Structure 1
Amino acid sequence: MAGIYRDIGVPCIYPDLMMRLRTSGRYIPEFLEIVLRAPEARRCIAALAQGTSDSMVKISADVINRMEIPDVPISDQQRFVAGLDAVSTLERGLCSGILKIRNVRSGLLGREFSEGVGGGWPLKEIGNLCEVSSGATPSRAAGSRYFSSSGMPWVKTLDLNEGLISATDETLTEAAISELRMRQFPERSVLVAMYGGWEQIGRTAILGVPAAVNQAIAVLQPLGGLNPDYLLLAMQHMRHQWRRFAASTRKDPNVTKSDVLGFRIPVPPYGDQVRIVQLAAASLQDITAAEQQLNGLRKLKEGLTSELISGQRSFVGGLSK
């Protein structure tokens, strides 16, 4: 990773795991920062790194000195930097807008739940509302016998995205499903993380495809009168309540299936559940549209930088020249 230290009136002290680069008159610092942060440059640096493990891999000053840099006139560097700065300004504006929409959405839903509970919505235990199950982790030693690139989706805690799961990082083979009796849960099942410390406990998602899960996830299947999408929103709204349950003798806290069964959520009439789901979906559409624009801007930035580095311009032999 590369970045510019911009003078703020305080001397910069940097550790021996960093290198300081001082540009000659041939390059402006902002242009060099863009080049060094480009994916192509980072892949080149990673390929030349030396070491025996991820924690000890390092590069020498000679690697940086020998890097090929686009041979671009100063005036073109300045125009290129200005162009990317303009895109970055739009990017920051979209990020700020997305955050505002999320905050408004959270506030609206919070008010709905608060007023609903205050208005008489009963708090009911999950055990009285849902069938609660969990899964398992096949032995990694089985390798390709149990794991494949195109089998049944298998959800781990890190797959929980607070929304719809349509694909997973890993999938299971027919052998794993039959030999280990892995249960396949249907679409619209709501998932909740039980292990992994405060950053993971209470993370949620809802299945968009049939899938198996590992033992760290509780699967909630509504028994009737409970909208799965509302259940997802309620679990997200009440996530802070897990701190009353989570405990462990290990470093990381966790919750148990019994804790999940006893977890309480507000349950309004079904019509109110649908109304809240529709309210959440409308704001989510705005967030999705803004995120698509944001991804487009980021791809534009990557494309402009890649075009610069991939041969659209000539190169000099290295930074030391």
Structure 2
Amino acid sequence: MGATRRLGRAGLALLVVAALGLVTACAGKVGENGRFGVVYMDAQGYYAGVRAGMQQEAEALGRVPQLLQLNAQGDASKESTFVDQVSAAKVDALILSPASATASVPAIRLAHASGIPVICYNTCIADESARKYVSAYVLGDPVRFGALLGNQAADHFLAAGKTAPKIAVVNCEFVEVCVQRRLGFEQALKAKLPAAAIVANQEGATIDDAVDVAERILTAHPDVDAFYGEAGGATMGAVRAVQARGKVGQTVVFGSDMSTEAAQALAGNTVLKGVVDISGIAVGKLAANAADQVRRGELTEYTVVPAPIDLYASPEDGRAWLSAHPDGVP
């Protein structure tokens, strides 16, 4: 959900650039290299990475389209209105992280019926509908995503001599990829630590919501050993809650989605002990390339495009990420 919310229910302001358009080329007539409709689920930094990656790949392909962009704020109705508009405008492709596996289906079906190729990234509609209406889905395997972090958590507790840790989940499970992340996490964790227990699982996809959720969990379960944050907001909300409740040294966090704050926390090595990430820049490049392939007739059937998944497991990894991303764009 990769997915930081990547997958948050609430974002910041609606993003409509230059009357729904941004000319990314330095010169030339507006739209002469085609137009893409692009939907970001919310305003978190991951989507800035997606946008940057799309622009970089388009420039590398030598054909930079006009981007008609929307921050849907996790709202399927705003997403639907925008898709109606770009469908009427006959864009060359629709690239989006749908707000809902079900509520987003009518809008995507309309785009498909209008002859517009649809490329999902990060999230998508339900599989049966995706196979009918979507040309490509850029996806980092969510089960593997969670499993990498489950292994990291198990190794941490084995090194500490704790064989039955109590773990709380701060989730984003209103999207299916987050459910799959948790399943991968639990399977890998319990393969090494069969006595590990998930003592709570509550939604908190944005940082503010996640802080409140994690603090309530700490009140109900003061002996919890770790949090698993299924998305970026959940991760950093859990870190802040641990710090605010004076649980540093007792409760650790394993989380999803890199950002400057997450890298700094990982480098500090006091609370955050591992992060799994799917680079927004990498996903943007893959999505732009898939759209170009569809436009040129090279991609004619529904295709899942694998996105790379990275594990950051040490303070050195956190410092290396900060060095590689001085602008904070993930």
Q: Which has the higher strand share?
A: 2
Structure-2-length-normalised TM-score: 0.24
TM-score scaled by structure 1? 0.24
Greater relative CO, 1 or 2 (CA 8 Å, sep 6+): 1
Larger % of helix: which? 1
Larger Rg: 1
